A and B are shown apart, each in its own frame.
Chain A
Amino acid sequence: MSMHQRRLDLKNGCVDLSHGAGGRAMAQLISGLFHEAFGNEWLARGNDQSAFDVAAGRMVMTTDGYVVSPLFFPGGNIGSLAVHGTVNDIAMAGARPLYLSASFIIEEGFRFADLRLIADAMGKAAREAGIAIITGDTKVVERGKADGVFISTAGVGVLPEGLDLSADKARPGDRVLLSGSLGDHGVAIMSKRQNLTFDTEIVSDSASLHGLVAAMVAAGGQGIRLMRDPTRGGLAATMNEIAQQSNLGFRLQEEAIPVKPAVAAACELLGLDPLHVANEGKLVAVVAPEAAAAVLAVMKAHPLGRDAADIGEAVADDHRFVQMATSFGGGRIVDWLSGEQLPRIC
């Protein structure tokens, strides 16, 4: 890069089409903003790809796209969410996340200041998770062809030896463990949506769960059948997915499912069921009954699992119904959400 080029005006400047054109401006954006935020040895080498050592054993790979609206919300922004979401997809296999890629599609006119906040949040989330964003891409599209910024990621991780979590391993009698309260992310997003603004102290639960997962795997080992993070569609969608894939039914206890009062109140107001609202820092695990107590104990001991609870059990059921004993004393089905509750939640 030539020495006399004007620096990026990170305070007042914005992205224009030249920042995606492959020229000097793009190089400047990448080195001045993204490398700065993600800071690691791989990016510093400036290659179109990054090489890393392959671990022994089995690896996992995942990919994800982020289009959340608004880009900034209580408890995070699209950048931190992209890291947490990708890390969690890897972690749900029981794997240890290692490296991420990040690809940005940026709308012309997007402010550098906002892009920096997003990149900094990504870098911070990555450092906290002990992973590195080792390759990336930047594209700029004309105004109106995107909504601020979209982020695509890929992630790789390594599995502990012998661990193979999968829904088909669930058995009748297995316990269902939930790591904490439901609906925080969805309600935090909704509270900032245009036309829907309301005041709430609720912040998104967006967080990397691989530390919690590692503790659970250490305590439960093969007793852990599978784990999922109940994101879009909420716990209801996740439990129905697991029921379909495991060929089992589930019986949940409404009383055991933690929901914060502010989230319950917002759902009441908006006509939503907290079981359908998205989470970004929660997991549900199906665990063999003999391992459940030990796994639950380590969950409660972890900062991200303080409110963990045993919320029900797997049952033999050809219809694969997810049922729930309501806290009122009746019973009902917990079904998938029909249609879209709220687009662009992540």
Chain B
Amino acid sequence: MKYADEFRDKELAVGLARAIRAKADPARAYRFMEFCGGHTHAIARYGLEDMLPDNVRMIHGPGCPVCVLPAGRIDMAIALAERPEIILCVYGDLMRVPGSRGSSLLRAKARGADIRMVYSTLDAIALAEQNPGREVVFFAIGFETTTPPTAVMIRAAEKKQLANFSVFCNHVLTPPAMRAILDSDTPIEIDGFVGPAHVSTVIGTEPYAPFARDDGKPVVIAGFEPLDMMQAILMLIEQVNDGRHEVENQYRRAVNGSGNQRAIREVAEIFELRDQFEWRGLGSIPASALKLRPAFAHLDAELRFAMAELVVADNPACECPAILRGLKKPVDCKLFGTACTPETPIGSCMVSSEGACAAHWTYGRFRDHQRRLAS
């Protein structure tokens, strides 16, 4: 497959793995957090951990929007979808995300709620046009990458003067989440970040500067292909070895310093910051999410349907908060693989295939077994 196979080349991978082994100082450990679920997935799917020396460890961050969506927001969506006039449009990976008391959109759908899986924001617009007698609500979710498509959808709804369309906005922001991880009460053990790929195509490299400058953490923006990851890891090791802490851009074929200005402008015109937003696993983070500006209040489902804010406490036995900060591994959680599996996820890290626990369960579990055998 053109433009994909080139970035999955085995020979180049072997060369990069050799370079990483040569550069990694055996006297120290390197702990890097890949923020994005896309990176976590690449690590798992291509088996990158097998190609890294033991003292280079990847910590899977919270960058999967499905994973960090709290149960309360799912409960709110279910309550909305149960109203007979509502058609709720969602991306498919939201269907199984657990709400409180074992609820999910999938179960709500089975009980009769009209919930439709869509692949594009414009599908939701089409549904609203086809169902003038119903209220169509789009469950908007995602980091900075998926916010511009929601903005496009809102513009389209305005242009078509759709009277039966609105958005349940759950868009969140990457830099505040990275800030929350670095500022957590428990000291975290992260030597650098593999920075987001798609998010950075929108916001550019600038927003990561404070993490390098003020926190002394190297950041390397990297693409989602496995060779991108390998190269970024090598670049991070070099920064650590040199005592540097800079924002470097491995993903130059798609990311520039200032980002996609048009997308940024469009998002700024339609959305504004929420004071606080609840993240599954990370708790409430100030200025970390978006809502519609007052000029678009008529398209805001939370206002239109007077949706009550619901907050549900995370399961206290779940170690996701510590796993998301790199303090613990999935196997350190007593729920992992017992009560909490991809079929019955409890914590954020197990919810989507891009979560740290799901990735380990789905792709990496056999390594624990091999290590046990070896010891």
Contact = CB atoms under 8 A, between A and B. Distances in A.
A328 B363 contact: no
Interface stretch (B46-54, B179-187, B275-283, B302-310): B46-54
A196 interface: yes
A331 B123 contact: no
A326 B366 contact: no
Interface residues of B, number: 36
A83 B117 CA distance: 31
Contacts of B48: 328, 330
Given A268-B1, A328-B48, A330-B47, 5 more contacts: A325-B47, A329-B50, A330-B48, A330-B50, A333-B366
Contact of B10 (A323, A328, A339): A328
A332 B118 contact: no
A332 B4 CA distance: 20
Interface of A: 195-196, 261, 264-265, 268, 270, 273, 319, 321, 323, 325-333, 335, 338-339
- SS of B interface (majority): helix
B309 to A, nearest CB: 28
A338 B353 contact: yes
Contacts of A273: 45
Nearest to B17: A329
Interface string B35-68: 0000000001111111100000000000000000
Contacts of A332: 44-47, 363-364
B51 A329 contact: yes
B353 A328 contact: no
A271 to B, nearest CB: 8
17 contacts: A195-B117, A195-B118, A195-B119, A196-B119, A268-B4, A321-B365, A321-B369, A328-B46, A329-B17, A329-B46, A329-B47, A330-B48, A331-B366, A333-B364, A338-B342, A338-B353, A339-B343
A322 to B, nearest CB: 9
Contacts of B8: 327-328
Contacts of B1: 261, 264-265, 268
Contacts, number: 78
Interface string B100-143: 00000010000000000111100100000000000000000000
Interface of B: 1, 4, 8, 10, 13-14, 17, 44-51, 95-96, 106, 117-120, 123, 226, 342-343, 353, 358, 361-367, 369
A327 B10 contact: yes
Give the 5 A-B CB pairs with smallest separation, nearest first.
Answer: A330-B47, A338-B342, A328-B46, A330-B50, A332-B363
Given A261-B1, A268-B1, A329 B10 contact: yes
A338 B93 CA distance: 11
Contacts of A265: 1, 4
Contacts of A333: 362-366
Given A338-B343, A339-B96, A328 B4 contact: no
Nearest to A263: B1
A328 B226 contact: yes
B13 A329 contact: yes
Contacts of B363: 332-333, 335
B123 A195 contact: yes
